[in-house]
Structure 1
Amino acid sequence: MNNKKYIYVLSSMRAGSTLLKSLLSTREEIVDLPEIPVHLADEIASLVKEDMVLIKRPRYYLNTKYPYFEFKPESKIIILIRKPYDTILSLHKMNLENNFADIQYHDEQMLLNYWITTYQLLYKSINLNSDNVILVRYEDLIETPLKTTENIFKFLDVSNTKGIDTYENPKGYKWKWGFGDGGDVLKTLKVVNRQNKYLNKKLINLIDTNKAVKEILKNYGY
């Protein structure tokens, strides 16, 4: 058993976890790794010099249990949430660009159900008020990155807690689907507050009329 400290980033897909990981990995204590399998964490941790291992593990579509793994002792947990509208538009774009075969996840209602289930599971299984848990809203991260990252760094108890809004390219690997993003916005190496101008009236109506969405947004501090 190694003496590394583990940081878990839990979220839906397309919630900004790669951006968050890139920002956190600028601290010298946190190793910059791709999206590693949870069961390999100990093996990989033993090979790096950094004290903290960040495990970014969004919930995939077919995960009926989430989180589906045990947390290491004294670990830190970051719950990352993004509002459903922009999350679902990004999911739909990702599915199309990657020729995702399962047609049901090209449907707005199915993608909304995925978002709802993800954050219901997290709310039931993780105590948001626990000392080892911090809630990060994607909108806060891109609107006030300096303040938001400073709060996260203080929570993680790293030596340099100054907030940031820039990061570097991954060290030793490239962004790609399954391990990160690699989109044009992420490659700017800077937090970008880009407003989505695409209007999907069907999706807006589904969100506005869904009681579960309203409850989740309230539970997560929106």
Structure 2
Amino acid sequence: MVLGGPGVRRVARGVRRRVRRLAEPPVPQSAGRLVPDPVFVLSSVRSGSTLLRVLLNSHPQIRAPHEMHLRTLSVGLTKPYTKKAMTELGLDQRELEYLLWDRILHRELVLSGRRIIVDKTPGNAAVWERLHEGWPKARYIFLLRHPASMVTSLINGRPDRELEATVREVLGYVEAVEAARNALPGLTVRYEDLTERPEEVTQEICRFLGVPWTPRMLNYRKVDHGPFVPYIGDWSENIKSGKIQQARALPEPKDVPTALREITRAWGYPG
């Protein structure tokens, strides 16, 4: 029996490669995420998320930029060999998108010189499972507001809105937020409490985030928060005023749309 030859040498090389792979240490966590524990505010539209954002962004250790809409940024593998090459690196399209999103978060954090980054895009409520998959150590703030108040706020901003369609829109958001609340750890904040007792609520948020509270959070007009324009946050005169405005009175139970009554009561509001 003759040992050796090209075939045997190829097999031997393959065995050595597999042995080296088995001996390699696991990919360090630092290779996965530049920002391992971002903070995501999960909320509906018209829930006061821009107010919460600017209060947080007024803290010297927290960067809370305008809505970044990360979920809408996608990666295209445009050639068959592109997918093959990424597969060999252990990367699929989902992970490549996470790397893109993570790089944007990291860039914003580095440019700000701060320690914690917060993304408050309301659309994140619809993709909370992806956020949890991509960032297992992420922290969450669940921002609640009376669902009927959100409907009223949307219609006040655009009187041409149709009531039934607006109710469906709000219901989609609040059901997603509630699903996330039931599945993920985090801190629940009510918009009405934030406007009525801003010092107390922001102190609670700071404890949750592990930073000292500072009264400068309550005077957000002194910090540059970027433009207040459509599609990346609230642009109303209230938010532009630089003052925390008192929330409107809660709707009467009889005025809560039928489709919103169950979630309204689940969130502890009269409905």
TM-score greater than 0.5 by the shorter chain: yes
CA contact (8 A) 1:145 1:163 kept: no
SS in 2 for 1:35: coil
CA distance in 1, matches of 2:249, 2:212: 36
Structure 1 residue matching 2:187: 3-state secondary structure: strand
Query: Structure 1 residues 70 and 194, CA, compared in 2 at 3 Å: closer, same or farther?
Result: closer
Aligned length: 203
Structure 1 residues 57-206: aligned runs within 5 Å:
57-59=121-123, 65-67=126-128, 69-71=130-132, 72-96=135-159, 106-127=161-182, 132-160=185-213, 164-168=217-221, 171=224, 173-193=226-246, 195=248, 205=254
| 8 Å contact from structure 1 (residues 5, 51) kept in 2 | no
Partners of 1:93 and 1:173 lie apart in 2 by 24
**Distance verdict in 2 for CA 1:37–1:213, change over 3 Å:** closer
Runs of 4+ in 1 over 4 A off after TM superposition: 161-164
Unaligned runs of 5+ in 2: 1-32, 74-99
How far does residue 166 in structure 1 lie from its aligned partner after superposition?
2.4
Instruction: Answer yes or no: is the 8 Å Cα contact 1:147–1:163 preserved in 2.
Output: no
* Structure 1 Cα separation of the partners of residues 254 and 188 of structure 2: 27
TM-score normalised by length of structure 1: 0.77
Q: Is the partner of 1:185 in helix, strand or coil?
A: helix
State the percentage of identical aligned residues: 26
TM (norm. structure 2) is: 0.64
User: CA separation of 1:15/1:172 partners in 2, compared to 1, >3 Å: closer, same or farther?
Assistant: closer
Larger radius of gyration: 2
Letter in 2 for 1:113: R
Could you say which residue in structure 2 is the equivalent of 1:25? 57
* Partner secondary structure for residue 180 of structure 1: coil
Q: What does residue 44 of structure 1 align with?
A: 104
- The offset of 1:169, in angstroms, is 6.0
Structure 2 distance, partners of 1:142, 1:114, is 24
Distance 1:183 1:169, change over 3 A: farther
Aligned 8 A contact 2:35 2:102 in 1: no
Distance 1:111 1:82 in 2: 15
CA RMSD, Structure 1 to Structure 2 (Å)? 3.0
**Is the Cα contact below 8 Å between 2:39 and 2:116 reproduced in 1?**
yes
The change in CA–CA distance for 1:176 and 1:140 in structure 2 (over 3 A counts) is same
- Which structure: greater helix fraction? 2
SS of the residue corresponding to residue 268 of structure 2 reads coil
Unmatched tracts of structure 1, length 5 or more: 97-102
Q: Counterpart of 1:157 in structure 2: which amino acid?
A: G
